[in-house]
Amino acid sequence: MSLKSRCYELAESSRFQNAILALIVLNAFTIGVETFTWSNQITSTLEALDALILWVFIIELLIRLIGSGFSFFKDSWNNFDFVIILCSVAPSTGPLSVLRVFRVFRALRLVSSMPEMQRMVEAMVRSLRGIAAIGWLLVIVMYVFSVMGTMLFGDGGEAGELYFGNLGLSLYSLFQIMTLESWSNGIARMIIDEQGWWAAWFFIAYIVSTSFTFLNMFIAVFTNTMAAIDIEDEDDNGFSKILIDLREELADLKAHLIDHGHISAEE
């Protein structure tokens, strides 16, 4: 067996992959622990452990490169791992030392090591076009309400000037309201005290138009993309299983109708 075949089999083995996954988790933990203040001995131990794990990752990357050859770079997740490891070996001193901060992204290798997470990331990326369209619509709605809020509340009192004194303040205030963070006691009730209860309808209409409606639209786009990816995979889980079951039922129904002469085989 050639060296390339041995490396490929090793890289594809479940034990090897599980060991690397465990090291990724351990490395993510040690990187976080290093942010605390420790004695010199503990700090040195953590740094040595981090360096050892990095060397293991480099060796793992070399094994995968030898086993897959140039096809290694055809996989976007392999390219992601390659860039992360490349940034991690940057020198700790000098102009390139800033790249060392990217070693924390080694924790993101958990994504490339788990197919379920890869599917989620793929769905997120493929949803960007739809999310961008919804985002632009949301910006337009926020702009309209910001202009309205500035015109209605900007000169109505101290709270109105504080939260809706100009277009920028209105946009920021409405963004806070959209997140439902301290919107009632923090902003809305103060405006209502100055303007009257009619102002409550402004905030109710805005929250219904943004927080409720657009959140559901984002969820719908992401769910639809997840369903499309699930069907494309043609496995025995989720929407793929539902589609496969429907095809089998239709095939059984067609066979039953053919057997009883209701339809011809050509149909």
Task: Note whether 7 and 105 are same-domain residues.
Answer: yes
Residue 21 belongs to what domain range?
Answer: 3-113
Closest CA to 81 of 51, 116, 118: 118
pLDDT beyond 70 at 137? yes
pLDDT beyond 80 at 229? no
User: Is residue 237, in this structure, part of any structural domain at all?
Assistant: no
Which pLDDT does position 240 carry in this prediction? 55
Which pLDDT does position 99 carry in this prediction? 59
Which pLDDT does position 143 carry in this prediction? 95
Which residues, including other chains, have CB under 8 Å from residue 112's CB and lie 6 or more apart? 77, 78, 80, 81, 118
User: Is residue 38, in this structure, part of any structural domain at all?
Assistant: yes
Q: How far is CA 218 from CA 7, 120, 139, 175, 226, in A?
A: 43, 14, 14, 17, 12
- State the DSSP H helix or E strand holding residue 263, giving kind and residue range, or none if neither: none
Which pLDDT does position 119 carry in this prediction? 75
pLDDT beyond 90 at 252? no
**How far is 227 from 63, CA to CA, in rounded Å?**
35
Highest mean pLDDT among 37-51, 218-232, 246-260: 37-51
> Are 195 and 156 contacting, i.e. CB atoms less than 8 angstroms apart?
yes
User: Is residue 253, in this structure, part of any structural domain at all?
Assistant: no
What average pLDDT does this structure show over 129-150?
91
Which pLDDT does position 72 carry in this prediction? 86
User: Is residue 252, in this structure, part of any structural domain at all?
Assistant: no
Instruction: Tell me, letter by letter, the H, E, C secondary structure of 124-155.
Output: HHHCHHHHHHHHHHHHHHHHHHHHHHHHHHCC
We report the CATH number of the domain holding residue 176 as 1.10.287.70
Name the pLDDT band for 31 (thresholds 50, 70, 90). confident
Which pLDDT does position 175 carry in this prediction? 92
Q: What is the residue-averaged pLDDT of the chain?
A: 80
CA angle 116, 58, 13 (to 5 degrees): 50
Tokens of 246: 């429907």
What average pLDDT does this structure show over 35-43?
85
pLDDT beyond 80 at 16? yes
Output Rg (C-alpha) for the chain, integer angstroms: 28
**How far is 84 from 89, CA to CA, in rounded Å?**
9
Residue 251 or residue 265, greater confidence: 251
Domain count, the chain: 2
Task: Note whether 93 and 177 are same-domain residues.
Answer: no
We report the CATH number of the domain holding residue 99 as 1.20.120.350
